[in-house]
A and B are shown apart, each in its own frame.
Chain A
Amino acid sequence: MKIGIYPGCSLNGSARDYNESVFAIAKVFDIELVQIPDWNCCGATAAHNLNKELSLALPARILALAEQNGLDEVLVPCAACYSRLVVTQHELKVEPEIKNRIKKVIELDYRGTTKILNVIEWLDKYIIPGIEEKLVLPFKHKVACYYGCLLVRPNKVLNYDRSEDPQTMDEVMRKIGADPIYFPYKTECCGAGFSVSRTDIVSKLSGKIIEDAEHRGAEFMIVACPMCHSNLDMRRPDINQYFKTKFTLPILFVTQALGLAVGLSPKEVGLQRHFVPVNIDS
């Protein structure tokens, strides 16, 4: 089984742990993840603020390359990259004129046939069906599933899960033995791109998310986005300072929790890279 993967910038940088856990799981389930050759930046938050054409051309080029290399399905673990790719595919589908213009810009053929999978969709489709056999260490913990903003939005384009009260990650966690708590903050803003420029805003917003999860007895928070992870994990000292407290709630990528449940070691899923220490005692 061969599936394309688009890592984007963060999976090779701040979210190497995410990358490692994705590849480690794929290996356990005999899935070959093929990087799209010569991939480029998805445009992130910058491109669509500056130049619409650029913001469509960048993802379109990635998708065109996937088509060219026969990758019918592409896993995009980063929620932000995922959003850019999905939105682009949608816009080019509904606006054939723009599509033709973009084709000229990227100098590649583009059909828009690639199936883009976010990490939850990927798990749901390829991992969960075979999970029972491989489940060696059920992840018996209370978890708060945090979806953030981009995984399930915009509604109009995605049509995936319910944007105000998503459930798919909770379902995946249940399948590996976890107990997802009632968590109203699951789609509240973490501060997103203010990670660098306004850490005070991130501290306040991310802090509230953590505070609520801890208050409700979560042992772990589960995420599926490198940006959320860095705000909730890497910015923890700022958060604790802002809230004048010591939040200890560890933040795991969904693939890390799943990796542990299928018997991968903490190191294999990159837990040692976290800023907030993760103590797995089970």
Chain B
Amino acid sequence: MARIGVFICHCGENISATVDCGRVAETIGKLKHVAYSTEYKYMCSDPGQTLIKDAIKEYKLTGIVVSACSPRMHEPTFRKAAAEAGLNPYLCEMANLREHCSWVHEKNDMTTEKAIDIVRILVEKVKINNALLPIKVPVTKTALVIGGGIAGIQSALDIANTGHKVILVERSPSIGGHMSQLSETFPTLDCSQCILTPRMVEVAQHPNITLYTYSEVESLDGFIGNFTVKIRKKARSIDEKDCTGCGLCTTKCPQKKIPNEFEEGMGFRPAIYTPFPQAVPNKPVIDREHCTYYIKGKCKVCEIVCPTKAIRFDQPDQILEIQIGAIVIATGFDIKRTDFFPEYGFGKYKDVIDGLQFERLASASGPTGGAILRPSDGVVPKNIVFVACAGSRDPAKGIAYCSKICCMYTAKHAMLYKHKVHEGKAHVFYMDIRSAGKNYDEFVRRAIEEDYVNYIRGRVSTIYECDGKLIVKGVDTLLGAQPLEIVADMVVLATAGVANSGAEELAQKLHVSYDSHKFFAEAHPKLKPVETNTAGIFLAGACQNPKDIPDSVSQASGAAVKVAALFSQNELTREPLVAFVNRCSPPLYSTCVGCFLCQSVCPYQAIEREEFKNRDGKTIKTVAKINEGLCQGCGTCVALCRSKSIDLHGYTNNQMYTEVMALLNVY
């Protein structure tokens, strides 16, 4: 016989101000099978929990309903209290009297009636609840970090330093990401390479990190603690063990005019190349698309000159299969290029460049050796215009969000320009200056006050060429909305930060969600910014949204802690609120008819096949089986199953039906 206890919480005045808690407790107490019913000011407090625990013992309760706030808030609290009193935690239910009742209604009888109804249906439900046991799954204590930008580097190092193995996969020939392209960094103007390269080297030398560059994730199977990843190691066309990184081959390659990606197209590279001098690993790769040998069938100059005979023209791609327990996605971002802006010349004006191109111009290791020279004719621009929010915050361009980093790097660019071209004039067109961050606004003020950068609040409508100059037409909205024309020598567009190429495909391979802009989606915008909604997969850096280096690094360390916490356990415990396919005795085995329609709808690939064999080993029936490690308990399969063979622990059809019937007063 069920003996149910009901605990009505006032939540201070949050509930009691509109609901007559005393009447609820009294009415519920008269229900059949309710052995105890009471009210209290704060159930979640220590005395509140003690009250519950004592009642469970004293009245030998077989189930409890805590009628308080949202289960999102305190279900774990009360289930834990129940367990401490010896009651299976899944025999504790919460009735949400706050969000579902007191907060949304006025104080009157009907509100109290509704509260009674809410509690009543849960009393009926908890009567038929089953005791459930948590699910245990083993953990493979190796992490996969995808993307070797500063975020991926930081995550990999942090995880490796906790003593766990890390596989770092980077698709380009070197790690470093966009940070390796930057000249100096806001808000301190320290040299990007100088703070980054030591970390890159640390990654390469760390005993716990295995680095696969020029590699990509091919596929992913499994679930938290137990993933299997396939990695495609693209053919570098050299033997990394034999190559000493002397670079002789790169100087002799006859293909010399391939646009250099690292220099953002403002320089050239050969077909066999290392992306930049500090690359990690410092070993070249043959770009087969542009190599004379792969195009015409002959050349092999690099093979001839290589002193250690390390060139391998016939090297195939390699597929590696690795067991891992957790994943950090750190694939970064990209920016819109100038060709996205028809109004600013559609990419056809050579002297209208984007922010990364400016970084390369300003970089001591860049194509101009750090001199600000305009690309068309190599002349020092006397008048330079920076356009913030190019594309960002512009719904007409399909990018309604703020790219967050450009206000800051625009101030930095204007400053760097003024430091290098003292007599030059720098103008910045902006919408708002968004410089929230430690020492950030001070940095922008410095650009304005100490470097005399001319900040103009207004947008640029068009840019066009006339007599070798760029005419920038805009408006100054602070000076009576006056139209304004600046005759410039060079224009830098702070183009919108966007999702990296291939982000969507990767998200689909990993089964994680992404937003409408193809940025990876966090599990909760506030409380789970590092998690994805796939257990065991975490986010770091600008793959989630455009971020600066400090934010990327903090999140990367956050993700590392999440991985370390996961790896601190030998077994994982999961909530048992998962689906199950019924089983019965042979010859039926299950009412499941094996149509596997459920397999096609499960968003988490959690449905497997189970075969029943006779003594001869012949399969006599194949039915669906839920992988408890993967199932997230969404219930989609339950709704779909035509033979009603699937049900959800904790929310069975019968429990739901009982609640509805209770509401209709059938009981």
A residues sitting closer than 8 Å to B (CB atoms) are 155, 162-165, 182, 184-185, 188, 212, 215
Contacts and interface: CB of A to CB of B under 8 A. Distances in A.
Looking at A162, A164, A188, A212, the one whose CB has the most chain B CB atoms below 10 A away is A164
20 contacts: A155-B396, A162-B342, A163-B342, A164-B341, A164-B342, A164-B343, A164-B462, A165-B342, A165-B343, A165-B346, A182-B465, A184-B462, A184-B464, A184-B465, A184-B466, A184-B471, A185-B464, A188-B462, A212-B466, A215-B466
Looking at A163, A165, A182, A215, the one whose CB has the most chain B CB atoms below 10 A away is A165
Looking at B341, B343, B471, the one whose CB has the most chain A CB atoms below 10 A away is B343
Nearest to A166: B342
A59 to B, nearest CB: 25
B346 to A, nearest CB: 6
A185 B341 CA distance: 16
Contacts of A185: 464
A156 to B, nearest CB: 9
A191 B343 CA distance: 20
Contacts of A163: 342
Interface of B: 341-343, 346, 396, 462, 464-466, 471
3 shortest interchain CB distances as A-B pairs: A184-B464, A164-B342, A165-B342
A163 B343 CA distance: 9
Contacts of A162: 342
A224 B341 CA distance: 25
Contacts of B346: 165
Contacts of A155: 396
A236 B342 CA distance: 30
Contacts of B341: 164
A164 B342 CA distance: 6
A273 B627 CA distance: 82
A235 B321 CA distance: 75
A4 to B, nearest CB: 33
Contacts of B342: 162-165
A50 B462 CA distance: 31
A271 to B, nearest CB: 30
Contacts of A165: 342-343, 346
Given A184-B462, A185-B464, 14 more contacts: A163-B342, A164-B341, A164-B342, A164-B462, A165-B342, A165-B343, A165-B346, A182-B465, A184-B465, A184-B466, A184-B471, A188-B462, A212-B466, A215-B466
B487 to A, nearest CB: 13
Nearest to B471: A184
Contacts of B471: 184
Contacts of A212: 466
Contacts of A184: 462, 464-466, 471
A249 B516 CA distance: 49
B495 to A, nearest CB: 15
A164 B347 CA distance: 13
Nearest to A162: B342
Contacts of A215: 466
Contacts of B466: 184, 212, 215
Contacts of B396: 155
A159 to B, nearest CB: 14
A164 B471 CA distance: 16
B577 to A, nearest CB: 44
A187 to B, nearest CB: 9
A162 B343 CA distance: 10
B385 to A, nearest CB: 16
A169 to B, nearest CB: 15
Nearest to A155: B396
A184 B342 CA distance: 11
A90 B341 CA distance: 26
Contacts of A164: 341-343, 462
Looking at A163, A184, A212, the one whose CB has the most chain B CB atoms below 10 A away is A184
Nearest to A156: B396
Contacts of B343: 164-165
A113 B25 CA distance: 66
A79 B466 CA distance: 28
A212 B466 CA distance: 9
Nearest to A165: B342
A213 to B, nearest CB: 12
Contacts of B462: 164, 184, 188
A218 to B, nearest CB: 14
A47 to B, nearest CB: 25
B434 to A, nearest CB: 26
Contacts of B464: 184-185
A256 B36 CA distance: 95
A163 to B, nearest CB: 8
A162 B464 CA distance: 16
Nearest to B341: A164
Nearest to A188: B462
A194 to B, nearest CB: 16
A69 B341 CA distance: 43
Nearest to A185: B464
A184 B343 CA distance: 9
A155 B465 CA distance: 24
Contacts of A188: 462
Nearest to A183: B464
A212 B341 CA distance: 22
A212 B465 CA distance: 11
Nearest to B344: A164
B93 to A, nearest CB: 46
A165 B346 CA distance: 8
A186 to B, nearest CB: 10
B349 to A, nearest CB: 10
A212 B464 CA distance: 11
Nearest to A182: B465
A281 to B, nearest CB: 28
Looking at B341, B396, B464, B466, the one whose CB has the most chain A CB atoms below 10 A away is B464
A30 B346 CA distance: 39
B200 to A, nearest CB: 41
